Amino acid sequence: MSDAQIEITLFQDLSEIDAAEWDACACPEAADGGPPNDPFTTHRFLKALEDSGSVGGRSGWQPQYMVARQDGQAIACAPMYAKGHSQGEYIFDHNWAHAWERAGGDYYPKLQIAVPFTPATGRRFLLRPGFEEVGFQALVQAATKVTEQNDLSSLHATFCTPEEREAGETMGLMARSSQQYHWFNDGYGTFDDFLAALSSRKRKNIRKERAQAQGFGGEIRAYTGDDLRPDHWDAFWRFYQDTGARKWGTPYLTRDFFDLVQRHMRNDALLVLAERDGTPVAGALNFIGRDVLYGRYWGAVEHHPCLHFELCYYQAIDHAIARGQSRVEAGAQGDHKIARGYKPVTCHSLHHIPNKGFRAAIAQFLEAEARAVEQDIEVLTAYGPFKRTQMEEQE
């Protein structure tokens, strides 16, 4: 490996970075022609966010893509944004912002290494094979320097991998624990195999829910690749707007984003629609990773019992089993997922606070929060639907 100096550059427009160069760091595993581990840090996904106006402009997400080069070759990169708020992140720091501002400081803008609007675990420090250590160190050092030189309140890397968390802590970053619910494929060949691992009562409940959902008066169909059509996205946009208006006030993604998914990412998408007489009335959008199916958005124009559970959770399990995938990530929050076979897991993030006093206070908070998350996961796991004893199966 060359000992040449590493050059760090920030870009506000992803078109200034060659797609092959970025993806050589973001998804080197896809060089074999298969899917990336996850599509969210690929050039095509981040470019779709930018080109659609979902980031940039007045969105509060100003791109500051970071690229590290050595001998003229990109060895590492990171999707970094200057944030004017804390929306669309799913690892919440609103209380941090309020505390900082009560003390007379300006919490925003801050720097965020993340995939906008996407609470999915994945690499945030994207490293070309062979440059893992030097690339990671270069990105962390550069990001912390940018934070300090511009007198910014903080730097955050959210939904990073456990390995990144460990490496970041060794470089002085603070680690934070949070919680999600994931479904794990324990070698199941069919959905019934999965049900067989549950207690009798929970198994019956899921079958009842699936039957109720299937009785909405139409058919459930899944589309991916060339089976996806523009009119599917017209329908899903209506669903997404309804959900976004109820949850966030204003949907994060623009209509153009879904057109760009159709154009450039339809092989990465799995759209499950509930249709009556050929007209969709509800839908759930998933993105396809190499070994993980990522549930992202849901919406409906009609209410039907259990249809949300069917489209978002049970259909995702069906498709993960059929694809031989090991996990389904069903997005943020939702204790109700436990009864549907999803297990609580720890998610990770990394943080840099230049101010010593504020950093000490945040460090105390993170220590207490981590203990609480660990205890919650232990308790919630005990309430899961899986069989624990032979007697339970005989109920």
pLDDT score, position 47: 98
- Report the 10 Å Cβ neighbour count for 19: 14
Q: Is the peptide bond prior to 109 cis by the omega test (within 30 degrees of 0)? A: yes
pLDDT score, position 390: 41
| DSSP helix/strand/coil, 393 | helix
pLDDT score, position 4: 79
Report which of 65, 168, 73, 68 is spatially closest to residue 116, judged by C-alpha positions: 65
For 106, the token pair is 């300006």
Strand partners, 221: 273
Consecutive H or E run containing 89: none
CA gyration radius, the chain: 22
Q: Which CA distances in Å does 222 have to 207, 219, 227, 342? A: 20, 10, 9, 21
pTM of the model: 0.95
pLDDT score, position 333: 77
Spans of the chain, pLDDT less than 70: 1-3, 244-249, 389-395
pLDDT score, position 138: 98
- Residue 324's Cβ-count burial label (10 Å; 0-12, 13-18, 19+) is exposed
User: In whole angstroms, what is the distance from residue 158 CA to residue 114 CA?
Assistant: 6
Consecutive H or E run containing 23: helix 19-26
- Report the 10 Å Cβ neighbour count for 181: 23
User: In whole angstroms, what is the distance from residue 283 CA to residue 229 CA?
Assistant: 14
Cα 382 to the chain's mean position, in Å? 26
For 140, the token pair is 């962390």
Cα 231 to the chain's mean position, in Å? 26
